[in-house]
Structure 1
C-alpha cells in the first residue's frame, strides 16, 4: 500500500487536488471519502464531478437521497452518502452493483461493511488549524501505480 499526503489551505486547493485526480480515473474505480462531519468530503466530490464534467456542476450533498448519479463524458459517477444507513446490506437497494461501469464516490464508506471493495482509493480529509490535509491511500497495484502519477 502506498499513500500521498497533501496540504489543502482552502477550498480552491481542494478543487486543484480533484482536478489532478480526475484524469487518472476510469470505469470501475471506487473512492472512499473519509473524514468527520464538515471535513470536506462533499466539497471534494463536488470539485471532482465538476472536473470530470468539464464545467461547474450542481452537486448537492446526497445526505437524504443517499445516492446521486451524474453522467459525465466517458464516466457515470455514483455519489453515495451512507451516513444514514443502519445495515450494510442496504447499499444493495441503492444500485451498488451498477457502479461497476462507473465511478463510485462513497462518503462514510465504513457503513458499507463487507460490500466496500478491497481495491480502492481511500481519501481521508482532516481539518487542521490552517486548512485541511488530504491523505490518499492506494489499495491494489493499479491504484498504487496511478497514485504515483498524481
Structure 2
C-alpha cells in the first residue's frame, strides 16, 4: 500500500531579533535553499504541531510545548495555496495538484545552535531577511522572509 503525503504543510521562518533568517540547503536538490518546511504526518496533526515537529526534525531546535522556546513560535495566520512542483508530485496521490502551506515564525537568540537532519539538509546560513529572500527557491518562502518586519510590527501580534 502506497502512503501519500498530505497536501497540507507548514513553512517556519526562523529568525533572530536582528531579523537574520535561517536558511537550510536541501540534500535532494542542492541548489534549493529554504526555511523549515514539511507536511503534516497525519490528517489530525494540527499545523502548530507540525511546525513544532518540523523545527526539531530539520533544525534541531526545540520549541515543543514545555520547552524554553515554546512561546517563541508564532502562528502568522497566513496560508499559501500553490501548485505542487512536478518533481515532487509523485509523493502525493495522483489527483492531488495543490498544497496548502500555513506560515509560522520562530524567534531565536543570535547564535542559536542548529543541528541539521543530514538526510534532508546539508548546510545552513544565517542571512539578513532581504538576502535570505533572494536565496530562497520558493516564491512563498521569499515572500515570507520579506514580510517579516511587517508581521512583527502588526498591532494584532501573530
Structure 1 length-normalised TM = 0.26
Higher normalized helix content (fraction of residues): 1
Structure 2 length-normalised TM = 0.25
Bigger Rg, which one: 2
